[in-house]
Structure 1
Amino acid sequence: MDTPTVSNTSEGIYIGLVSPDQDVYSTVGQTSHNSPGAQHTETSGQSSHPYRLAGGCVVLCALLLTPAIVLYTSASQNCSMGCVEEPLRANNSTLDKDQLQRDNNSLNTQKDQLQRDNNSLNTQKDQLQRDYDSLNTQKDQLQRDYDSLNTQKDQLQRDYDSLNTQKDQLQRDFDAVVVKFPVLDQYCPLRSQKRVCRPCPEGWEQRNSECYYFSTVVKTWNDSRSDCLKQGADLVIIESKEEQDFIYKQTGGYVHWIGLSDSETEGTWLWVDGTPLQKDKVFWETGEPDDRGSEDCAAAGRWWVLGLGGGWVDFPCHKLLRSVCETDALPL
């Protein structure tokens, strides 16, 4: 019967082992015939033949079993290592595959997250670009607004300076009005919670655009003028025959100081506003001015005691007389 050859895994070790064939048996037969024991046995007779056959069988069995035992031992060793290594290799392969799968899944997850992060960063970048463009636009607009405000500021400064100039002029005008009209109630007295304005203060006489006040208190020329100034007026300046006649009618038989004197330069008569007396507008009483006793101030009106007819007379400035104040009428 043929025994199979050893597997490929044992070929390197048992390459010379083959299945026993008829040569084995013939060898055994030859060995038994050639040995001295065999010759002795043959000579001893046929009774030892069964023992020789049994011994041959034993040897044959030993020869047959030896390769089998060797093959079994080798196969057992190979199987014990292979049976362990193969499952281990399979397990390792499975474990490696699972780990690789997990690593792949993790990398895919990270890749997806990175993709999302990249998309988010791109979105943020686009938004930042839009914000940057918007801020640039706003900056340009603010620059234009700033330039415009600077221009307006310069214009306002010019307007402010102009208004300051106007204010100063108005202050001067106001001061002049205050001097001219020191008491509002004189022109616009308060009646029934309303002010009723008149061209001239109460107690004054109006003629055309002028107001006249004929005092009843006697004072020197200088003191009389001070009283007129306090009321926003001055001693009267007579500029026409009609005005002279009006003064004459209002004096009521009393001589009144007028705004004419030569106290600065003797013989040079000046009105209180500094203008010189014009020769075609003089209304001196006959024989006046005579300058008796430093008579440097002029008066006008009727004075029956002196027989005056209303013309001008020069008197000493310290003489106590009534006076005539004059100011502009309030235009209504």
Structure 2
Amino acid sequence: MVDTYESADVVSDQDFRTNTQQPLQQTGSGSLKTSPRRTPVCLVLLCFLLLTAVIVLRVYIYTNYTQETSTTILTEEKDQLIINITLLIEERDQLLTNIVNITEERDQLLTRVKVFSSEKDQFEKRLSSEKDSLMKQRDQLQQKKNDLQKFLSEQDGWFYYQSSFYFMSSEEKSWSESRRYCSDRGADLIIINNREEQDFVKKTSGGALVWIGLTDSAKEGSWKWVDGTNMTTRFWRLFEPNGQRRENCAASHSSGWADYPCDAKFKWICEKIAF
């Protein structure tokens, strides 16, 4: 722009000098003189052109600057958008992973719920079955209790000791007749399982001979109780049993057990399990 102004000043100065040095010429009869006012007009026109050029140049520079700035901003926005999209993609992938994990946990919980429901149903069935069984047992025990109460109310001479009812006879019968007497009353000849019960028999009988529920009638020398169990506890007197064939039934005395002929006449003790 400075060069332009300087060029314009040189041109104007040269034109002014040319116009002042050249003599005025005449053409024909009416000579036309060059007017000194044309020089300012040219300067004004030249300034206008220069101003227009400056404006155009500024507009061009501004436009280019604006475009470059816009391009830079758009590039930065594009980069930021790419970063945001990348972050969103990562978040989406993380969400998908979380959804997969939650789905697996849900499926596991559903499986556990099904298993628990099945176990609960089985437990309820088992509980119901056990409840029915306990109810039946309770009814049976109640029935036994009622039977025993009825039995005691109908019989005289029976007494209770350690979960069993006992009867001590006052008359004498054979072993088979004594057992039949007990069976008719829902009992059987006494079974002695321990020393305490043996002492109880001695005390109850007063030391007299009494039939007990022990015999080897089925097989000689193989002593069994009336309920079919083998004899395990022994309270035999010295040299008893003596092994005589006709002596197949046992009786208890103050000194211990002894074998006698089953048709001998002794008192007896009946036993009935209470529960």
TM-score, with structure 1 as normaliser: 0.38
Greater relative contact order (Cα < 8 A, sep 6+): 2
Greater Rg by CA: 1
> Normalising to structure 2: TM-score of the pair?
0.44
